[in-house]
Amino acid sequence: MQIFLNDRLVSEQEAVVSVFDHGFLYGDGIYETMRAYDGRVFMLGRHIERLARSAAFIRLHIPEPQTITDAVHATVEANDLRSAYIRVTVSRGKGPIGLDPGLCPRPTFVVIAEEFRELPESLYREGVKLIIAGTRRNLIEALNPKIKSLNFLNNILAKIEAKERGAYEAIMLNAQGFVAEGTVCNLFFVKDGTLHTPSAEIGVLDGITRELVITLAQENGMCVEEGSYLPDDIFSASEVFFTNTTSEVMPVSQIEDVKYPVGDMTRKLHALYKGAVRKYIS
Which tens digit of pLDDT belongs to each residue from 65-122?
Answer: 999 999 999 999 999 999 999 999 999 999 999 999 999 999 999 999 999 999 999 9
High-pLDDT (> 70) share of the chain, %: 100
Closest CA relative to residue 32, chosen from 238, 209, 279: 209
Residue 268 is a catalytic residue = no
* Amino acid 182: pLDDT: 97
- What residue spans define the domains of the chain? 2-115, 121-281
What SS3 state is found at 244? Answer: strand
3.40.50.300, 3.40.50.970, 3.30.470.10, 1.10.760.10: CATH of 2-115: 3.30.470.10
Instruction: Give the pLDDT of residue 211.
Output: 96
- Helix, strand or coil, per DSSP, at residue 34: strand
The pLDDT score that the predictor gives to residue 99 is 96
Give me the CATH topology for the region 121-281: D-amino Acid Aminotransferase; Chain A, domain 2 (3.20.10)
Element (DSSP H or E) covering residue 87: strand 84-91
pTM of the model: 0.93
3-class DSSP state of 225: strand
Options 146, 148, 163, 279, the catalytic residue: 148
Residues 45-76 as b/e (b if ≥16 CB within 10 A, e otherwise) read eebbebbbebbeeeebebbeeeebeebbbbbb
